[in-house]
Chains A and B, each alone.
Chain A
Amino acid sequence: MTAFSDIPQTPSSHDGVPTALQLKLRRRARTSAAIRYTLLIVVGFIMIYPLLWLVGASFKTNQEIFASPWFWPEEPTFQGYVDGWKTSTPYTFATFFINSMQIVIPKVIGTAISCTLVAYGFARFDFPGKKVLFAILIATLLLPDVVTRIPQYLLFRELGWLDTYLPLFAPAWLAGDAFFVFMIIQFLRAIPREMEEAARVDGANTFQTLIYIVVPILTPAIVSVCLFQFMWTMNDFLGPLIYISTVEKYPVSLALKLSIDATEAFNWNSILAMTVLALTPSLVVFFMAQKSFIEGISTGGVKG
């Protein structure tokens, strides 16, 4: 238990032998730390258990999955991954992953660019009708998604975009996600304007100021936006379900459902195995972006 740094290291008496009081204090600190950490470990384990079980069960045989609630597989097998990857369709999961990326990548890039531009406009410039436009932008945040589904569907049908990825990522290129715009605006508002003014005095035009000064300072916010957009898009089920009808174009989220529908006796281990794979990109991206997510580079340039 001495490894815990929050246990006070009471100095021992001059001859090196701890006094009775010191022993008592040390014992009490250790007991309280032990209780605290045990509680945290137990609760943490309960929270993470479903995920552990998911990973464990993906290595189990179909019979074992329902035989034991414990996550550790008795006879680990890769069969779930092999079968799941093949799928019951003519395509492998690789196709579905590529499809997902064809939606996610343009959507994330589009979101980053368009939301930054729109947020910069709202946060830094005065133009006629700004207040009204901003109010409308915020109002769309309050609009439930389902309300716009049907009009949007009709619109995209008129454009001939059904069964393409365009309806899924085109709105993101037009700053369609008011939440992200709002997030960046809030971040920008906290950044003093002097740096941008200094850049203008240094001879930068509006666009150069945005690229050389604002975007680098905004990096943590933009990374967060990309991260959220990546995860939400990877996990989006309803969007592709409405607009994508050809199996060949299915993204991962739809493909997972496909493997449940297609066979009568579900191969649960292959479904679970593919679920684990479907989770992986989001997790990898999250851990990669974590540093920049947390690092606040906006501090330091201006005395606060």
Chain B
Amino acid sequence: MAELQLKSVEKTYGNGFKAVHGIDLEVGEGEFMVLVGPSGCAKSTTLRMIAGLETITGGEVRIGDQVVNDLVPGKRGIAMVFQNYALYPHMKVTRNLSFGLRLRREPKDKIARSTAEVSGVLEIEDLLDRLPKQLSGGQAQRVALGRALIKQPEVFLFDEPLSNLDAKLRASMRVRITDLHKRLRDEGRPATVVYVTHDQVEAMTMGDRICVMKDGHIMQVADPVTLYERPANAFVAGFIGMPEMNLVPAVLTRGEEAQITIDAQTITLPGVKARLSEVEGPVTFGVRPQHLEVTRPDAKDALTGTITNLEFMGHEVNLHARVGDANVVCVVPTDKFDTTLGRGDLVGLKPRASHVHLFDTQTGENISLPKSQ
């Protein structure tokens, strides 16, 4: 196993379109790194450049201490799991698993041993004599995983491997992959993983660290907790978290305490001033739906809004309210929800000041992170 380094890696296509704008990323040995972002953010392109399936037009990719820019995929010490499994349709599962080893002309008994071991780990022993078309989606994905595992590569690359599975299977495969990663780590052969997904749940639950991308740029690289609690910019703030963070245009004034004005309603945010940079004026005010408290209208330091919709989710209720021109979502645990509230009622929404974020309207940067960050 080895670490992976991307140094100002660029991708420009033949038609001049620049997909990846010089990104820097380091993935430590045995680390599970998730690349996440909306479609078209070049996360798959980045992964394919690491794999060697796309040429690198600038910068360098390093696996271990070797620059791999000009190495063919087979020589990079990587294994890849594809979204649509990409099993070889004319080979039985056994041969699908051992194809890479057979190409390397490994001895037959070693191939047999590795196949047995990997199929045991992934519980696919009963499928070894089947053709890919006789497998279900989950089974096929396990075989694809086995084909990567059997090679004992330096770096594992996953390209949205679970997006073709149904929700239930996806959840169980997610656990299976993270379990496997931990197990390999415990067995003393940690696996370096780069995992591409557009699903933030996958990203948050699986990644040691997450790299959020947008339009070929890295927006932030951090562990899930940091990403959630201290998003570096409005994009990350809005992308991570369910439901999305409320991002509302506001005006910031700095008196004794920081105050923001939204639609002629001014509220004080106690304790926020200390972590603010010297900014005043228009900002984007961000608060997660989980960090809004429902109070009576006109309560102190609460924004007053009109309820536009209520979504009952089981354990919680999503309350949609209109504050000025903005739509604000608030998540209330079902047992604390005041059932007399209904559409059209006025309601007070009090942000928990310790959890609010203020973003620069121009750059989108978070201006309310503690100075030490």
Query: What sequence of 0s and 1s flags, for each residue 3-28 of chain B, a beta carbon within 8 Å of any chain A beta carbon?
Result: 00000000000100000000000000
Rounded to whole angstroms, the CA-CA distance of A208 and B72 in the bound complex is: 14
Give the tally of cross-chain contacts (CB within 8 A): 94
Interface centre among A201, A203, A213, A217 (most CB of B within 10 A): A201
List B residues 259-300 near A (Cβ within 8 Å): none
Closest residue to B90 on the A side, CB-wise?
A216
Closest residue to A215 on the B side, CB-wise?
B90
A297 and B90 within 8 A (CB): yes
Is B87 located at the chain interface by the 8 A CB criterion? yes
A192 and B86 within 8 A (CB): yes
B89 and A195 within 8 A (CB): yes
Give min CB distance, A303 to chain B, whole Å: 5
A194 and B103 within 8 A (CB): no
B53 and A197 within 8 A (CB): yes
Chain B residues with Cβ below 8 Å from A213 are 88
Size band of the B side of the interface?
20 to 34
Is B253 located at the chain interface by the 8 A CB criterion? no
B89 and A299 within 8 A (CB): yes
Kindly identify which residue among A195, A203, A216 contacts B86, using a CB–CB cutoff of 8 Å: A195
Query: What sequence of 0s and 1s flags, for each residue 279-304 of chain A, a beta carbon within 8 Å of any chain B beta carbon?
Result: 00000000000000000011111111
B133 and A300 within 8 A (CB): yes
Rounded to whole angstroms, the CA-CA distance of A16 and B99 in the bound complex is: 61
B104 and A301 within 8 A (CB): no
Is A43 located at the chain interface by the 8 A CB criterion? no
B85 and A301 within 8 A (CB): yes
Give min CB distance, B200 to chain A, whole Å: 23
A300 and B89 within 8 A (CB): yes
Chain B residues with Cβ below 8 Å from A149 are none
Chain A residues with Cβ below 8 Å from B72 are 200, 205
Closest residue to A216 on the B side, CB-wise?
B90
Rounded to whole angstroms, the CA-CA distance of A62 and B188 in the bound complex is: 89
Rounded to whole angstroms, the CA-CA distance of A219 and B83 in the bound complex is: 25
Give min CB distance, A171 to chain B, whole Å: 31
Is B100 located at the chain interface by the 8 A CB criterion? yes
List A residues 194-216 near B (Cβ within 8 Å): 194-195, 197-205, 208, 212-213, 216
A302 and B103 within 8 A (CB): no
A301 and B74 within 8 A (CB): no
Closest residue to A198 on the B side, CB-wise?
B86
A302 and B84 within 8 A (CB): yes
Give min CB distance, A210 to chain B, whole Å: 13
Kindly identify which residue among A126, A203, A212 contacts B74, using a CB–CB cutoff of 8 Å: A203
Closest residue to A298 on the B side, CB-wise?
B89
Chain B residues with Cβ below 8 Å from A212 are 88, 99
Which residues of A approach B to under 8 Å, CB–CB?
126, 192, 194-195, 197-205, 208, 212-213, 216-217, 219, 297-304
Q: Which 3 A-B pairs have the closest CB atoms?
A: A300-B133, A301-B89, A203-B74
- Can you list 16 residue pairs at the A/B interface with Cβ under 8 Å? A192-B84, A195-B89, A198-B88, A199-B99, A200-B73, A201-B53, A201-B74, A201-B78, A201-B79, A203-B74, A216-B88, A299-B89, A299-B133, A300-B134, A301-B90, A303-B85
